């Protein structure tokens, strides 16, 4: 995404092993229901930015919705294609997968709903990245279309974790080779850029060599900042909630779930300062 090598790696590494990604998040379902329900309610076609392995896209297509899914990572798109290959032909025909960067995408087509499920926008690290992404959203929304996405709620406690501490998180079998690995995580928060860097490491059982590791870089969006970014980029927030079932956004929230629409042009009086 960004030219910064750490952030570039932190956007890609976690998604190279797409089978492992699916296995890790196999139990994550409430977001699928949220996006699929919204797609059904709104009718029309959906554009999914950061479609990944097709977790959400295929569920929407199963409910009769046509979906165009775009992703940066070939590994994730291949996995999404595998998922589609196993789906009934009618479902398969409703999904189009494209490789692309959501900050630059222009399809010359508009959608009733644009979605970016499961922290996709947390890979937008700079104001420019965010502006480009929201400009893509506006270029693809129909007049009464909606944008829906979720990002994590920053946790002051989690961001303050000791960067030298390694969290030992048990062991499990990895999809790629069926071997058992001890799994560790380490967190470093770059406060100036508001980016949480998560290093994940796997040590194969009975193996003394260097651990295999992977980096995930997540831009943190504080709630008022997120609303301001959407507002100043021409979007009106309709819902800003603390979960996928309409929970109030508060100290307990793990995610921020947002539904927004493009602001009508030329509406609203200028403020006193702007006159």
Ligand X SMILES: C[S@@+](CC[C@H](N)C(=O)[O-])C[C@H]1O[C@@H](n2cnc3c(N)ncnc32)[C@H](O)[C@@H]1O
For binding to ligand X (CB under 6 A), which residues are involved?
1, 11, 15, 50-52, 55-56, 70-73, 76, 101-103, 117-120, 123
- Is the CB of 35 or the CB of 203 nearer to ligand X? 35
For residue 148, the tally of other CB atoms under 10 A from its CB is: 21
CA–centroid distance for 42 within its chain: 21
- Is the CB of 124 or the CB of 230 nearer to ligand X? 124
Give CA–CA dist 39/20, Å, rounded: 27
Min dist CB 105 to ligand X, Å, is 8
Min dist CB 148 to ligand X, Å, is 12
Q: Please, what is the Cα angle at 173 between 172 and 174, to 5 degrees? A: 115
Residue 98 contacts residue 67 (beta carbons within 8 Å): no
> Using alpha carbons only, how large is the chain's radius of gyration in Å?
19
Residue 214 contacts residue 207 (beta carbons within 8 Å): no
- Is the CB of 120 or the CB of 148 nearer to ligand X? 120
Min dist CB 14 to ligand X, Å, is 7
- Is the CB of 5 or the CB of 270 nearer to ligand X? 5
Min dist CB 195 to ligand X, Å, is 14
Give CA–CA dist 159/275, Å, rounded: 40
Min dist CB 149 to ligand X, Å, is 9
Residue nearest to ligand X (CB): 52
- Is the CB of 119 or the CB of 220 nearer to ligand X? 119
Closest CA to 37 of 9, 70, 64: 64
Surface-to-core class of residue 99, CB atoms within 10 Å of its CB (0-12 exposed, 13-18 middle, 19+ buried):
exposed
Instruction: List the helix and strand counts (H, then E) for the chain.
Output: 9, 11
Min dist CB 239 to ligand X, Å, is 19
Min dist CB 267 to ligand X, Å, is 31
- Is the CB of 56 or the CB of 203 nearer to ligand X? 56
End-to-end CA distance of the chain: 38
- Is the CB of 15 or the CB of 189 nearer to ligand X? 15
Closest CA to 145 of 132, 155, 153, 136: 136
| Contacting residues for 9 by C-beta, under 8 A, at least 6 apart | 215, 217
């Amino acid at each position: 995404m960004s030219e910064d090598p750490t952030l570039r790696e932190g956007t890609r590494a976690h998604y190279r092993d797409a089978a492992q990604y699916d296995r890790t998040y196999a139990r994550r379902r409430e977001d699928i229901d949220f996006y699929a329900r919204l797609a059904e309610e709104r009718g029309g076609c959906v554009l999914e930015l950061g479609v990944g392995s097709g977790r959400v896209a295929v569920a929407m297509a199963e409910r009769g919705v046509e979906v165009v899914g775009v992703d940066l990572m070939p590994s994730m798109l291949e996995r999404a294609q595998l998922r589609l290959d196993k789906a009934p032909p009618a479902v398969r025909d409703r999904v189009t997968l494209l490789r692309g960067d959501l900050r630059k995408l222009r399809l010359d087509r508009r959608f009733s709903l644009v979605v970016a499920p499961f922290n996709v926008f947390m890979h937008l690290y700079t104001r420019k990245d965010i502006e480009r992404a929201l400009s893509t959203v506006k270029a693809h929304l129909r007049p009464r279309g909606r944008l829906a996405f979720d990002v994590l709620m920053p946790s002051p406690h989690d961001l303050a974790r000791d960067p030298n501490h390694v969290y030992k998180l048990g062991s499990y079998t990895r999809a790629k080779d069926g071997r058992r690995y001890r799994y560790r995580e380490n967190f470093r928060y770059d406060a100036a850029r508001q980016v949480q860097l998560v290093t994940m490491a796997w040590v194969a059982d009975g193996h003394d060599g260097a651990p295999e590791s992977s980096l995930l870089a997540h831009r943190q969006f504080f709630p008022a900042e997120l609303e301001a970014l959407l507002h100043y980029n021409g979007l009106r927030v309709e819902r800003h909630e603390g979960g996928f079932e309409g929970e109030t956004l508060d100290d307990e929230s793990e995610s921020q779930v947002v539904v927004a629409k493009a602001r009508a042009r030329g509406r609203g009086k200028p403020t006193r300062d702007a006159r």
